[in-house]
Amino acid sequence: MIILSKLADYGVIVATHLAALPDRQVTAGAVATATRLPQATVSKLLKSLAHAGLVTATRGASGGYRLARGAKAISVAEVVAAIDGDIGLTQCSVHVDECTRTTYCPTRPHWAAINRAVGQALAAVSLDAMVTPAAFVPRMPIRPTSPETDEPRYSA
């Protein structure tokens, strides 16, 4: 099973929350309350996202955090990379020099292609799409209308 780290998952939740409030600055405490995540974790994530240039922070009584760019211009891949570093499904996908099998491993080129595909898939999803509730709802098959066809039709 391929799983993002819990922090990367929470980072996407935090960034998506900020994307839902494009005209507001929100405090780490308000984000923690709204997302039901621990405040210390949210603060750590916001600092990582700010360091990566994905959010901006303003100090003071009316300060807080907001996205540095529009939600359509920030991908899930950027958020994950800000928290976990380079996206890699295998060690050799990211740390080529650390693998002793690089010169003779028959699967390495395939893992590289798979890694690129996963990275491209995450890069294709913006925070704006994550805010939209039905953006990824799969189309549901409808029963065939005539008995002579076994192929399902799909709703729009």
Query: Tens digit of pLDDT for each residue in 125-144?
Result: 999 999 987 666 655 666 55
pLDDT of residue 68: 97
Contact (CB, 8 A) for 140 and 155: yes
Query: Which of 73, 84, 81, 71 has its CA nearest to residue 17?
Result: 71
pLDDT of residue 149: 54
pLDDT of residue 147: 55
- Domain 6-131 part of CATH 1.10.10.10: yes
Looking at mean pLDDT, say which of 1-15, 67-81, 94-108 comes out highest: 67-81
Whether pLDDT at 54 is above 60: yes
- Which runs of E-coded beta strand occur in 31-94? 55-58, 64-67
User: Model pTM greater than 0.75?
Assistant: yes
pLDDT of residue 94: 67
Cα angle value 58/49/85 (rounded, 5°): 160
SS3 80: helix
In whole angstroms, what is the distance from residue 129 CA to residue 136 CA? 8
Extract the tokens encoding 21: 């409030």
Extract the tokens encoding 79: 């958020």
More confident residue, 98 or 76: 76
pLDDT of residue 144: 58
